[in-house]
Amino acid sequence: MNTPRVPVFIQAEELAALRSSPKLAIADLSAAPSYAMEHIPGAVHIPAARLSMARPPVMGLLPPEEEIAEVLGEAGITPDSYVIAYDAESGLNASRFLWTLDLIGHTRFSMLDGGLRAWVNAGQETTSDEPDIVATEYRAHFRDEHRADKAWITAHLGNPDMTVLDSRTAAEYHGTDRRAARGGHIPGAINIDWSLALRGGGDLRLRASDELRALFMNAGIRPEHEIVTHCHTHLRSSHAYLVLKMLGYPRLRGYPGSWSDWGNDPNTAIE
């Protein structure tokens, strides 16, 4: 049986109308003190730190499949849950979580546009009460079509069908803000700071879809290409990944490790 498609981004009022829906799982990826103080009623806290691992100096790597499965099971999420994620910060932890769901083939998910701030600004209630959770057994298996690594990108450099989207700041891209052993960018990568997708002025919600489409298209990020998103640890670029998914880009990959992997390897090509 086919399951209905859900929007990649959802508004606060839409989530409020769905809160009593069966199989809905609301995931809060905020810092623990923030969750303890205030969260959406029924939301389950998922520690963002459990969604990545580090092998210094490389950060933002994927943990084992078993760890992801354990996180989901402890949160009471099942393979047919409709997961809506948010956080109380910039939305990046929630983005990384949803990219991970896409990676394991859990496609019924949405991001709360603007996060907890948008929920509160819409006049919706919050609570400090923690919900009762019935743990489940979730089996997670990574799928290669939504991730890229250093070897895959190296093998596809110069391929006109592949585009690298660098979601870091312009200073990081040009190497004036160096956060790894080497500064610069992957050859041919196109730089669009992830935050340009937001409305700005403290509003963490997305700009209008036609504005976003123009932002990416004018920079050369085209839907007929395979797009690889990266930043420094694949947090900011997870957000860019979701925005492109919302815009209908069909072939997307995220690069866990990102520049902390590429920029700390003396053998990678850099511009």
Which residues 6+ apart lie within 8 Å of 238 measured at CB? 92, 95, 96, 98, 99, 229, 254
Handedness of CA 230, 202, 179, 29 (dihedral sign): negative
| CA angle 52–58–62, rounded 5-degree value | 25
Each residue's pLDDT tens digit in the chain (271 positions)? 345 579 999 999 999 999 989 999 999 999 999 999 999 999 999 999 999 999 999 999 999 999 999 999 999 999 999 999 999 999 999 999 999 999 999 999 999 999 999 999 999 999 999 999 999 999 999 999 999 999 999 999 999 999 999 999 999 999 999 999 999 999 999 999 999 999 999 999 999 999 999 999 999 999 999 999 999 999 999 999 999 999 999 999 999 999 999 999 999 999 9
Is 231 labeled as catalytic in the residue annotation? yes
Cα 190 to the center of its chain, rounded Å: 19
Q: How far does Cα 249 stand from its chain's mean position?
A: 15
Catalytic residue among 48, 103, 231, 235: 231
Instruction: Write down the pLDDT at residue 25.
Output: 97
Class of domain 9-121: alpha beta
Residue 228 per-residue DSSP state: E
pTM over 0.95: yes
Give dist(CA 118, CA 257) in Å, integer: 30
Residue 123 CB: number of other CB atoms within 10 A?
9
Distance CA 239, CA 245 (A): 10
Among all chains, which residue has been given the structure tokens 């050859």?
187
Common-topology check for domains 9-121 and 146-262 = yes
Q: What integer pLDDT is reported at residue 55 of this predicted model? A: 97
Give the rounded distance of the alpha carbon of 209 from its chain centre.
18
Q: Residue 4: what pLDDT?
A: 58
Identify the residue whose tokens are 């041919």. Answer: 188
- Residue 124: its pLDDT value, please? 98
What are the angstrom distances between the C-alpha of 237 and each of 14, 16, 17, 157?
25, 28, 30, 19
CATH architecture of 146-262: 3-Layer(aba) Sandwich (3.40)
- Domain boundaries along the sequence of the chain: 9-121, 146-262
Phi and psi (nearest 5°) for 121?
A: -65, -25
